[in-house]
């Protein structure tokens, strides 16, 4: 097959590209320039897709012996990931930019261009696996090494995208093995630290970054009954589950810490309450997709597991597609309450090791009723 290897400049994508070559594929490496400041340098393990990363990818491609290109996707990245991130926070939701990047850049814009140029598949260094069912339909599954499994951030992929994707690291037992292989191959990135945090906020100061772009306007902090108990300097700076930075100035009647339960951007209000009020009995989202073949009868409740963060443990649940006034939504009811779930997060549904689908959470139902005053 003719394969386009997405090379981020990290150790995983370098080894994935090398393995694709050894599997007998005709491979071309490509680095996506996503930063609008191409001279930006990486700081430790923060950020990615900098000029330093592109040079690391170039060196790995040279050792592998494959053609290498840099494609400028910075404008698309700004529109589909950065601007979306700002809009979601402005709307009071907690977005996951890595999900949006996989959905709209790496497996939409990149794959679309790759197929138009005659490539059969895109290979990445994600830890996930692709299997086929009894009828030959591709399915997305967890990686062999669950500690490094990245199937959660790939939950947005469609059946068509899965059919044109390759994950050469899916069966690898550990990241240590990948680093050892990189060292044997002579890759300079063998000991390069993994990137973390939000790549376009390399200093990690999300609150300050948003304040510069959204602005800060003082608003009211409410308790669960709707009574004002304090003020804040901008609702965008808060996320559901947050404890620090509320600064009400006096303790709750029971003396327990308060947590952010809800952010209301239209009224610039933040609702706070006890930790137990963060327990969520039901989540739902109208923007849902299936990662491969959909359930035969999705309107009937089916057993599954739900994962709401990249490194969270999966929780047994029941899911079903239900009708609403606006159309349909994927409703998920966990066997045990989920903690600290915010609208805008992604819920990925699994059946065994298979990624069945996902939804962007629109609404949540607390397991603890609002007290009557």
More confident residue, 130 or 43: 130
Whether the pTM exceeds 0.85: the reply is: yes
Tell which CATH architecture fits domain 2-191: 3-Layer(aba) Sandwich (3.40)
Fold assignment, 279-366: Elongation Factor Tu (Ef-tu); domain 3 (2.40.30)
Tell me the pLDDT tens digit for each residue of 63-105: 999 999 999 998 999 999 999 998 988 887 888 888 888 888 9
Given this chain, do its domains 2-191 and 216-273 carry the same CATH topology?
no
Determine whether 98 is an active site residue.
no
pLDDT in tens, 272-310: 999 999 999 999 999 999 998 999 999 999 999 999 998
Handedness of CA 31, 36, 37, 43 (dihedral sign): negative
Q: Which CATH code of 3.40.50.300, 3.40.50.970, 2.30.30.280, 3.40.50.10420 fits the domain covering 216-273?
A: 2.30.30.280
Domain range summary for the chain, segments of one domain joined by +: 2-191, 216-273, 279-366
- For residue 181, what are the CA distances in angstroms to 20, 29, 150, 186, 270? 14, 19, 20, 9, 49
- Is 101 a known active-site residue? yes
Catalytic residue among 48, 49, 98, 199: 199
Q: Which residue among the candidates 48, 98, 101, 359 is catalytic per the annotation?
A: 101
Rounded Cα distance between 267 and 219, Å, is 8
């Amino acid at each position: 097959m003719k394969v386009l290897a997405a090379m981020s400049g990290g150790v995983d994508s370098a080894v994935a590209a090398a393995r694709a070559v050894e599997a007998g594929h005709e491979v071309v490496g490509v680095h996506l320039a996503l930063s609008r400041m191409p001279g930006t340098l990486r700081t430790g393990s923060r950020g990615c897709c900098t000029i330093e990363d592109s040079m690391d990818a170039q060196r790995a491609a040279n050792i592998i012996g494959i053609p290498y290109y840099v494609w400028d996707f910075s404008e698309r990245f700004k529109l589909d990931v950065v601007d979306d991130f700002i809009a979601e926070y402005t709307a009071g939701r907690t977005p996951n930019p890595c999900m949006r990047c996989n959905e709209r850049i790496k497996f939409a814009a990149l794959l679309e261009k790759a197929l138009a140029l005659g490539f059969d598949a895109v290979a990445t260094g994600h830890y996930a696996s692709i299997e086929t069912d009894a009828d030959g339909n591709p399915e997305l599954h967890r990686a062999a090494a669950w500690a490094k499994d990245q199937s959660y951030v790939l939950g947005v992929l469609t059946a068509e995208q899965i059919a044109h994707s390759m994950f050469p690291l899916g069966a690898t037992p550990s990241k240590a093995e990948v680093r050892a292989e990189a060292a044997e191959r002579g890759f300079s990135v063998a000991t390069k630290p993994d990137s973390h945090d939000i790549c376009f906020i390399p200093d990690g100061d999300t609150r300050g970054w948003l304040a510069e772009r959204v602005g800060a306007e003082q608003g009211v902090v409410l308790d669960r009954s709707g009574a004002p108990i304090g003020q804040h300097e901008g609702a965008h700076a808060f996320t559901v589950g947050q404890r620090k930075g509320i600064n009400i100035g006096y303790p709750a009647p029971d003396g327990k810490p308060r947590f952010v339960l809800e952010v209301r951007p239209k009224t610039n209000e933040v609702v706070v309450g006890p930790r137990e009020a963060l327990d969520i009995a039901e989540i739902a989202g109208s923007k849902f997709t299936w990662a491969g073949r959909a359930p035969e009868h999705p309107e009937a409740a089916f057993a599954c597991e739900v994962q709401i963060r990249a490194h969270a443990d999966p929780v047994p649940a029941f899911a079903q597609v239900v009708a609403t006034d606006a159309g349909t939504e994927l409703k998920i009811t966990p066997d045990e309450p989920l903690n600290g779930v915010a609208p805008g997060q992604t819920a990925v549904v699994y059946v065994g090791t298979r990624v069945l689908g996902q939804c962007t959470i629109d609404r949540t139902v607390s397991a603890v009723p609002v007290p009557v005053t």
